[in-house]
Chains A and B, each alone.
Chain A
């Protein structure tokens, strides 16, 4: 039993799920659901279909080259079963998975930092331009003006006197 990868969306195809298409040159294509299969039949390029993992990797939205990703790959050398090796591998898998997730998340965060700066600038400009929608320009100034006027009158009176 193994979990295959869908050719189109790179999602997991569990045993008993999905379909497989075998071409005349003996290349097999597995699909996790009919959406992927239909897109494939429409000859769409997964690297250009925005919701697929292939697109995300090809356009640099996700972590592509990393040591933690090198652990999971198909090796062509058969290794005979050894209990300790297998159990160590399962342990290692957990740790590697943790590290991989951390790094993937960090990658995305770094990518989104720029957006935050832009958002900041936009907020500032928005406030500058449209503050009149929530606050009248001289709101709260009336009292100040009054006080000032009072002050002035008093001053004048004082001056007079």
Chain B
């Protein structure tokens, strides 16, 4: 019960309060906000080298200010132009330098752990000096610009103003050139700072310390997800490393330090100093790691010496001694003196736990011990503080009082119990399809229909019809289909009775039939007439009907077709006229032949010249042959659809523009 309270308290108090810490080192700094220190280091702006700095600023000036100026402009305009350039350059330098100054952390403003760490790594004095130089440079540049702008007011020509501008810019750049060293140093500091491990100085931390090579990095690798390099040589770990782990639903930091050697504080190098800083400033549980097998190169006595030497740093911190590498040598295998050492330690109320990072025995125990100890320590210190009461007033642990003696154990359903049992014991499961398949081998057929849940179990393996004559049977399935069908059939009967289906065709009387027949004939006749008139060859002038002679036979036929009686019409008007006209016509013709005289040569020649298909042809047989020859010669031309002998036109049956090219926009029906 208590630990949950402890956990709650720890969490709440941490998040609710700003911290007042007590720590062994003499620095009694002001209160600070814990949040500021942690992640700023990665957001520091890149510090350019002095050359780059100058280049950037000057090119910016050139690009962002107007460049065109002429002698003949008004002097105030010229002055303004050059003043603007000077001011612009000054502004740029000022801005960038100010940003550098604000980005870099002030050693007084950050958590003393980080302050000390930075001191150890970068030397506080050098750091402060560099930043100071930058500050001075900034002020100098401001002054230069102020002076030259003042001077520019008295420039009376373009040349003078231009020279003043050149001078101003030149001086500013020289100032920057002198800052080369500081800028380089600051850039290196920035890069290193951003790579520092993000150690939260206020949260629960376990700190590992001891001689080099005792097994601190192996321990952190085992307990967290960190991947610290483990090597057989001393000082493999050269800086602090952080790993995170979870315990009791809380996040814990585990900090791995480089090994510490036993010599006085003044003689310690940078690497050892980092470990010392961590020890000094982080409120954590300290795990002092010792090597029982003395493989690290130092005896147990030396390790004990070191322990006693740095004991002052452990004040106010829960302490744990981890006896590592116990797979090689256990405490029980030690000599008397060795055992005595550990007996002393245990007597002083410092738990000693044997571990082996190789076989992982004891590692969990160390973790739980250390975490518990630290938690209780933190809770104690918070309880002693002032802020506790605010939180405690809000907390209330409810303990339900028993109302009767009825036991109320936790309820576990049967299914869960059975499930758990089957998980533990390897009970044979029900037969699967796969088992069946293996059994039956080649004659296995997957028959999913056997699992169907039907009303009638023996219908499972039916072949279900799906389609009938273009209709889906599934569309007709309805539990009430029979009822509907009956209704429909009744309806149909009624309809039939009412006579809806009787074909209404009154047998037409003869007259109507005759009319129909006649109408049909009329239509046919009309169509024929239309066709005939279309076939008429209408070349030439339109002559009246009387020019064309009408045959007696056709007249009689036509009129007969129309129903008139045309038999025996010898003495009809037209017949008589015909007889009469013929005799006259013949006489007339004969007369004509006698009296006519050839008027011109052409007439006489054309009269006497025989037609071409008769000239040179002896007899009808030859004429026939000649005609046949002509026709056979024409066959070829006619077959090819040519107009005549001279028709040599070559048709373009596959024109290129219709058969080539990609099918872009357009239809596929025609190209």
Contact call A75/B459, Cβ cutoff below 8 A: no
Query: Quick check: is A136 within 8 A (CB to CB) of the other chain?
Result: yes
Starting from the known contacts A73-B475, A83-B456, A134-B518, 4 additional A-B residue pairs (CB-CB under 8 Å) come to A70-B484, A89-B473, A99-B488, A142-B564
Query: Quick check: is B462 within 8 A (CB to CB) of the other chain?
Result: yes
B-side contacts of A23, CB under 8 Å: none
A90 to B472, CA, bound (A): 10
A150 to B40, CA, bound (A): 143
Contact call A80/B454, Cβ cutoff below 8 A: yes
A152 to B503, CA, bound (A): 53
Query: Quick check: is B467 within 8 A (CB to CB) of the other chain?
Result: yes
Q: A127-B515, A134-B522 are in contact. Are A81 and B464 (CB under 8 A)?
A: yes
A79 to B565, CA, bound (A): 83
B-side contacts of A109, CB under 8 Å: 503
Query: Quick check: is B543 within 8 A (CB to CB) of the other chain?
Result: no
- Of the candidates A80, A83, A95, the one whose C-beta lies within 8 Å of that of B485 is A95
Contact call B526/A130, Cβ cutoff below 8 A: yes
Q: A72-B476, A92-B481 are in contact. Are A135 and B488 (CB under 8 A)?
A: no
Instruction: Give A residues with C-beta under 8 Å from B.
Output: 1-3, 12, 67-68, 70-75, 79-83, 85-86, 88-90, 92-93, 95-97, 99, 102, 106, 109, 113, 120, 122-124, 126-127, 130-131, 133-136, 138-140, 142-143
Minimal beta-carbon separation of B169 from chain A (angstroms): 62
- Of the candidates A96, A123, A140, the one whose C-beta lies within 8 Å of that of B519 is A123
Contact call B488/A134, Cβ cutoff below 8 A: no
A92 to B473, CA, bound (A): 10
A-side contacts of B462, CB under 8 Å: 81, 83
A31 to B501, CA, bound (A): 36
B-side contacts of A135, CB under 8 Å: 562-563
Minimal beta-carbon separation of A122 from chain B (angstroms): 8
A106 to B498, CA, bound (A): 14
Contact call A82/B501, Cβ cutoff below 8 A: no
Contact call B488/A68, Cβ cutoff below 8 A: yes
Contact call A143/B523, Cβ cutoff below 8 A: no
Query: Quick check: is B123 within 8 A (CB to CB) of the other chain?
Result: no
Q: A3-B470, A106-B500 are in contact. Are A67 and B491 (CB under 8 A)?
A: yes
B-side contacts of A90, CB under 8 Å: 465, 468, 473
Query: Quick check: is B192 within 8 A (CB to CB) of the other chain?
Result: no
B-side contacts of A2, CB under 8 Å: 466-467, 472, 474
Q: A2-B467, A97-B469, A123-B519 are in contact. Are A139 and B491 (CB under 8 A)?
A: no
A-side contacts of B489, CB under 8 Å: 95, 99
- Of the candidates B469, B477, B503, B565, the one whose C-beta lies within 8 Å of that of A86 is B477
Contact call B522/A133, Cβ cutoff below 8 A: yes
Contact call B562/A92, Cβ cutoff below 8 A: no
B-side contacts of A3, CB under 8 Å: 467, 470-472
Q: A1-B467, A92-B485, A120-B512 are in contact. Are A134 and B562 (CB under 8 A)?
A: yes
The size class of the interface chain B forms with chain A is 35 or more
- Of the candidates B467, B503, B515, B563, the one whose C-beta lies within 8 Å of that of A140 is B563
A74 to B477, CA, bound (A): 9
Q: A123-B516, A140-B563, A142-B564 are in contact. Are A85 and B525 (CB under 8 A)?
A: no
Contact call A86/B467, Cβ cutoff below 8 A: no
A136 to B563, CA, bound (A): 6
A-side contacts of B501, CB under 8 Å: 102, 106
A-side contacts of B563, CB under 8 Å: 134-136, 139-140
A128 to B474, CA, bound (A): 59
Contact call B526/A133, Cβ cutoff below 8 A: yes
Residue of A nearest to B484 (CB): A71
Minimal beta-carbon separation of B404 from chain A (angstroms): 53
Contact call B487/A67, Cβ cutoff below 8 A: yes
Contact call B518/A127, Cβ cutoff below 8 A: yes
Contact indicator per residue, chain B 317-356, by CB within 8 Å of chain A (1) or not (0): 0000000000000000000000000000000000000000
A43 to B454, CA, bound (A): 47
A143 to B515, CA, bound (A): 24
A-side contacts of B455, CB under 8 Å: 80, 82
Query: Quick check: is B478 within 8 A (CB to CB) of the other chain?
Result: yes
A81 to B455, CA, bound (A): 8
Q: A67-B488, A86-B465, A86-B473 are in contact. Are A81 and B454 (CB under 8 A)?
A: yes
A-side contacts of B470, CB under 8 Å: 3, 12
Residue of B nearest to A12 (CB): B470
Contact call A113/B477, Cβ cutoff below 8 A: no
- Of the candidates B472, B479, B564, the one whose C-beta lies within 8 Å of that of A79 is B479
Contact call A93/B488, Cβ cutoff below 8 A: no
Q: Identify the 7 closest CB pairs spanning chains A and B, nearest first.
A: A139-B563, A123-B519, A136-B562, A2-B472, A126-B519, A133-B525, A92-B485
- Of the candidates B467, B475, B525, B565, the one whose C-beta lies within 8 Å of that of A72 is B475
Minimal beta-carbon separation of A85 from chain B (angstroms): 7
A73 to B472, CA, bound (A): 9
Minimal beta-carbon separation of A12 from chain B (angstroms): 6
Contact call A96/B488, Cβ cutoff below 8 A: yes
